[in-house]
Structure 1
Amino acid sequence: IIFAWLALLALASAITDRRWRFWLTALVAAGAAGAATFVLLFPAMWVDPLETLRLIYVEAFNVGELGEGHDTFFLGQISDDPGWLFYPVAIAYRLTLPVMAGLVALVIWPWFGWRKITPLQQKTLLALVGYVFFMWLVANASPKKLDRYLMGVIPPLLLLAGFGLNWLIGLIADGLSRKRRWPSAAVAVVAGLVVIAAQAWPVVANYPYVLTFYNPLLGGFTSAVQQVPVGWGEGMEQATAWINAQSNADQLKVSSWYSDMVRPYLTTYTTSFSSSGEGQLEADYVIFYINQTQRQKPNEAVYTYFHQKEPVFQVDYRGTPYVWVYAAPRMQTSSEGEAVIEGRARLLGYNWQPAPPGRPGDSARLTLFLHTTGPLPANETIRAALAAPDGRLWGEWETSEPIAWQPDALIEWSGTLTLPADASPGDYRLVVQLIDQNIDSEVTRFPKLDTVLAIK
């Protein structure tokens, strides 16, 4: 994008002054300097440049394809296309007080000082302003919007703010020099030091989480959490440190939306963070991050299932929850995605506590993990039984508590299954039925439950 802007700038300049060779040379030189900087500051290019470029290309198209929506958080809402206002607001939250003052001064300055600067300075200012608007227009071509996509406008905004501050400081210095006879140079130096200190203060005040700084004129961090995406991994190391400190840490399974971010810190295993919730249910602990919860990723069902629980560990930043660690049920048996009753639910898997029935007369608590896909009529219920080798169903099922069933939710359906004392030994299979209570008869059952239980 930057090279495209430079090409447009060179073309416009060449048309204006007819120095085609000069501008072509300048464009080539700028491109070469940019390429050299890219290689020097990107260590991956030193090791495997071709593979690095390939991955950049693949990731660019995977996450930023034109016309492809992508949920983001803006002004307190989740949207797949937050509109043209997103980037101005997101960037404004990232500006410091000196930069804001400089940009405001720059807006006022043309009425007083435009004719007092050289044509080269005028062209430079126009080029910087044009670059900012060009980047904004290009970034808005895709409905997928993240604030980091427009970080390239920060350097020109700093230069523009510097120009505005230079004019403002000069104006103040001249005024104080005339009224109080203070040396204008001394005033300018003091003002410059104040600007430097004010620009450095956010780093000091927010260390080590420097990226948690947000424009205090817009309400700072507290306001940003309610308006724009926040979180760049800060606090994740605290969550992983807590997990690593558990006595059985080397045996734990951890699920995180940002698995690549936590994996280097963990001394244990990571499992998937799936849209169905299956990967999270199979874990011992699940980590949620603020950027993820703002967008309710991977979906509202999984988000609600965990956030209605009390976290076992939580990282707060300035009174705002930032990272949550939840205990997960470590689902013992997965249905592998094929156990579905259309219009009702998908059975993700189940747990036996403390163990499945092993002998006639045994009782065991069974928890079914369901992702509901539709309503459950009042006359219907879920029942579990064990199927003998001859197909006959055995077991008395008693639901533990009323279930709050609602469509598109992740729920637990628990009960106790008691095997009769006269049940014959053999290999039994778990059967989960949809029952019409009006006639006490099976409507259908979840297929593909092939787990064998040996009853002795």
Structure 2
Amino acid sequence: MTNDKRLALALFLLALAVRLPKLDTYFTADEFLWVERSRNFLGGLLSPDFECLLPNETETNAVPGRGLACTLRTGHPGVVTMWTGAAGITLQWLTRPAGDARTLLQFVRDLPTNPVERRTIAPVRLPTVLLTALFAAGVYLLLRAMFRPPVPLLAGLLIALDPFHIALSRVLHHDALSTTFMLPAALSLILYFGVARRRRWLVLAGVLSGLAMLAKSTSLFLLPYAGLLGLWSLLAMWARGKATFRRALARTLADGLLWAGTAAATFALLWPAMWVIPAQALHTIYAIGFKYASGGHAKGVFFLGRVMKDPGPLFYPVTWLFRTNFWQMVGVVAAVFGFKFKVSSFKFQVQSFKFQVQSFKFKGESRGVKFCARRWVDAFSPRGFGDHFGLLLWVAAFLFFFMVMMTAGEKKQDRYILPVYPMLDIVAAAGLAWLIRARRKAVRWGLVGAVLAVNLGLVVWSAPYYFAYYNPLVGGTPAAARAMTIGWGDGLDKAAAWLNDKPDAAALKVASWYGSTFAPYFRGQTIRYSDQKGNALAGDYIVFYVNQRQRHYPDDEIWQYINDHFSLEKTIFLRGVPYAWIFPAPGIGHSVEDQRYTGIGSLLGWDWRGSPSPDDGPLPAGSTLPVSVYWEYLGKTPEEAFFLRLIGPDGSIWAETTTRPAPEFAGAAAWREGQIIEERGEFAIPADTPPGEYALQIGFYTRAPAVPAGELT
């Protein structure tokens, strides 16, 4: 085994060692969606009779699908993520208990996905961990063909031990996987056009580009990037006299067709939906891409003290400062200063270009333009194997144009620019190498050891809550909590563990933000809530989460109501920052969704306050039932009272009562938009009510002109 292969293997094992431990510690907010998508993807592969609902990004309702069509799950398109998820589900099936005789298809049909069982989490994540560990080794090998030591090894270490990359490579999602293929695809293109014009690099770039586009649609950036490299190649061949312009153009077009054809073939062959419903698959990608580009985050983004749908052009630079680390910052700064002379030389080439253009105009000689083109080409070329400048300019071009593209989109998250981080690791490695230029070999290995020690220390300190890592040089997690949205489900596992220690945990109902993230770890019943305040009131306990509080979602009134009526029992901290708050909750027996009347109110639920109640079984005629009604104030007047009616089997009304605000809510003039109001009343069942099944009708009287009947139910 060569030394390069030994180092690549060492990088793979190092990257794997820091990504594998405690793989099921917590579950992120989007992963249950990817488990569900992977389940349908695998089911579609296994049976032509497997049924599913296909996404329809332009319509409200999904449409039915069957068999291979079920491999279309979303417009991201996330195909690589679903392949890894399907492999993980298969692994879970292979390691099932000995008495489980189900076939893989039966296992897939039965697999719970909402909520996901904790035992599913590690298997579905494992393939992603393996691929992202291979990524660190693969980038090292590609860089060995481009740069002299110690640049490739330094870059490999920075990538393998980047806490932000580690965090995203330990979850079933598409950002790390798209980076795993997108960045090597770009490096392979640079290798082909800038270092060694061997077709194997172009074919490799095509395969990797196809995989990157299958992983995430933002990898379509590789199309214009490859075009830019191809244009430079065309100018290089012509300006250096290696070919006539026509022959150079033909060669460049042939290269482009080979790359694009390989990418397209990879894309189509590895996505079975392209075999059966290609038009629908491509349209779905286009539709969701347009949606992300033109629509911000539905719940808003907390950034620099404000909540907004599009946080603007400063978002990615600021989040990079919090997500980067010491060596990347030092290396990038060193790279800028290290190549200052080259930049000055490049400016000289620009002046020479202008002079030659004027000379061309004066003399009418074609050689002037050709000479000027060569000057430009040389400025972006590696002059000898050890000169990093030209290659780093192409890396910088990737960084600049990708950032421009991502900044132009309204929907922004820090993870969306993950490909930027390993590219910056390459720049940083070159900068660090420049710092120790012309030094002895022992100094170079000393720098490698320092990078390994510092970043490994960061990794150990952050484990396993890597998402809670924020750059200590700019204030760490406390400063990040004041500047940007933090938390993606990490910490909710700790909240569940605390509640599991209660003696009656299995009988408890807990309403939790990110319920899909909380449920795999909680022994009792999880009630999910987002903007459904009624669900939030239905638990014995309620869990608030950090990014919910940052974004005031759905508003501050739910927090205010709980905080006013119950005492905080537990706060969950990560890196010294509160991530979750656990309160007792009303535990109302009947929560209501989607009963919202704009400008009036929203019914949240009701609860019988006495015993026995209808929830306990049949009631004797003549019973009187104390009842509480919970609603959200949106403009309703006190005169617009809530009513409860007992409706008989024939539709007749057997009993009716109205409710009034509880004493603490009696001051209607002080009601706030979104405030939760409790009203109380007594529901009397007449003594002559015959036995039977009766319906309960809840509504309120209203004076709204749009409601001629005078009541809403």
State the Cα deviation string for residues 7-37 of structure 1 (Å, max 9, x = none).
233322233124553685488569969998x
Q: What is the aligned counterpart of 1:318 among 567, 572, 575?
A: 575
Q: What is the aligned counterpart of 1:157 among 424, 429, 440?
A: 424
Aligned partner of residue 65 in structure 1, secondary structure: helix
Cα distance change, pair 156–419 in 1 and its aligned pair in 2 (3 A):
same
Aligned partner of residue 478 in structure 2, secondary structure: helix
Residue 552 of structure 2 aligns with an amino acid whose one-letter code is: Q
Q: What is the aligned counterpart of 2:473 among 212, 217, 225?
A: 217
Residue 408 of structure 1 aligns with an amino acid whose one-letter code is: E
Residue 77 of structure 1 aligns with an amino acid whose one-letter code is: R
Deviation at 1:61, TM superposition (A): 5.0
Aligned partner of residue 605 in structure 2, secondary structure: strand
Q: What is the aligned counterpart of 1:350 among 606, 609, 614?
A: 606
2:65 corresponds to: none
Aligned partner of residue 401 in structure 1, secondary structure: helix
Q: Which moved more, 1:150-159 or 1:247-256?
A: 247-256
State the Cα deviation string for residues 35-64 of structure 1 (Å, max 9, x = none).
98x99xxxxx7999989x999996895585
The reply to whether residue 191 of structure 1 matches residue 447 of structure 2 is: yes
> What is the distance in 1 between the residues matched to 2:487 and 2:320?
15
2:436 corresponds to: 169
State the Cα deviation string for residues 49-106 of structure 1 (Å, max 9, x = none).
989x999996895585221122111112111111111011111211111111111112
2:11 corresponds to: none
> What is the distance in 2 between the residues matched to 1:339 and 1:33?
49
Aligned partner of residue 479 in structure 2, secondary structure: helix
Q: 1:301-450 alignment to 2 at 5 Å? A: 301-302=557-558, 304-306=560-562, 309-334=566-591, 337-338=594-595, 340=597, 343-355=599-611, 356=613, 365-374=626-635, 376=637, 380=639, 382=641, 399-403=662-666, 406-415=671-680, 417=682, 419=684, 424-426=687-689, 447-448=712-713
- Scaled by the length of structure 1, what TM-score is found? 0.75
Residue 301 of structure 2 aligns with an amino acid whose one-letter code is: T
> What is the distance in 2 between the residues matched to 1:121 and 1:34?
32
Deviation at 1:138, TM superposition (A): 1.0
Aligned partner of residue 91 in structure 1, secondary structure: helix
Q: CA RMSD in A?
A: 4.2
- Scaled by the length of structure 2, what TM-score is found? 0.50
Cα distance change, pair 300–60 in 1 and its aligned pair in 2 (3 A):
farther
State the Cα deviation string for residues 210-239 of structure 1 (Å, max 9, x = none).
232212221111101110122233212212
Q: Which moved more, 1:23-32 or 1:266-275?
A: 23-32
> What is the distance in 2 between the residues matched to 1:269 and 1:152?
39
1:122 corresponds to: 389
Aligned partner of residue 288 in structure 1, secondary structure: strand
Q: Is this contact kept in 2: 1:367–1:415, CA < 8 A?
A: yes
State the Cα deviation string for residues 304-347 of structure 1 (Å, max 9, x = none).
4446554443311233211233433333234564475x633122
Q: Is this contact kept in 2: 1:366–1:417, CA < 8 A?
A: yes
Q: What is the aligned counterpart of 1:66 among 293, 300, 305?
A: 293
Deviation at 1:390, TM superposition (A): 6.2
> What is the distance in 1 between the residues matched to 2:467 and 2:500?
25
> What is the distance in 1 between the residues matched to 2:485 and 2:227?
32
Aligned partner of residue 490 in structure 2, secondary structure: coil
Aligned partner of residue 154 in structure 1, secondary structure: helix
Deviation at 1:360, TM superposition (A): 8.5
2:338 corresponds to: 109
Mark the runs of 5 or more structure 1 residues left unpaired by the alignment. 40-44, 174-183, 437-442, 449-456
Aligned partner of residue 297 in structure 1, secondary structure: coil
> What is the distance in 2 between the residues matched to 1:255 and 1:271?
4
Q: Is this contact kept in 2: 1:400–1:415, CA < 8 A?
A: no
Q: 1:34-49 alignment to 2 at 5 Å? A: none
Number of residues paired by the alignment?
Answer: 419
Q: Is this contact kept in 1: 2:477–2:577, CA < 8 A?
A: no
Q: Is this contact kept in 1: 2:659–2:679, CA < 8 A?
A: no
Deviation at 1:146, TM superposition (A): 0.5
Residue 208 of structure 1 aligns with an amino acid whose one-letter code is: P
> What is the distance in 1 between the residues matched to 2:556 and 2:662?
26
Q: Is this contact kept in 1: 2:659–2:680, CA < 8 A?
A: no
Residue 432 of structure 2 aligns with an amino acid whose one-letter code is: L
> What is the distance in 2 between the residues matched to 1:397 and 1:211?
47
Q: Is this contact kept in 2: 1:373–1:409, CA < 8 A?
A: yes
2:182 corresponds to: none
Aligned partner of residue 232 in structure 1, secondary structure: coil
Q: What is the aligned counterpart of 1:228 among 481, 484, 493?
A: 484
Residue 415 of structure 1 aligns with an amino acid whose one-letter code is: R
Q: RCO (CA 8 Å, sep 6+): is it higher in 1 or 2?
A: 2
Deviation at 1:203, TM superposition (A): 0.6
Q: Is this contact kept in 1: 2:606–2:628, CA < 8 A?
A: yes
Q: Is this contact kept in 2: 1:253–1:284, CA < 8 A?
A: yes
> What is the distance in 2 between the residues matched to 1:50 and 1:324?
49
1:133 corresponds to: 400
> What is the distance in 2 between the residues matched to 1:231 and 1:46?
32
Q: Which moved more, 1:331-340 or 1:121-130?
A: 331-340
Q: Which moved more, 1:195-204 or 1:357-366?
A: 357-366
Q: Which moved more, 1:239-248 or 1:390-399?
A: 390-399
> What is the distance in 2 between the residues matched to 1:244 and 1:57?
46
Q: Is this contact kept in 2: 1:240–1:262, CA < 8 A?
A: yes
> What is the distance in 2 between the residues matched to 1:400 and 1:59?
55
Q: Which moved more, 1:57-66 or 1:265-274?
A: 57-66
Q: Is this contact kept in 2: 1:400–1:416, CA < 8 A?
A: no
> What is the distance in 2 between the residues matched to 1:28 and 1:10?
14
Q: Is this contact kept in 2: 1:75–1:228, CA < 8 A?
A: yes
| Structure with the bigger percentage of strand | 1
| Structure with the bigger percentage of helix | 2
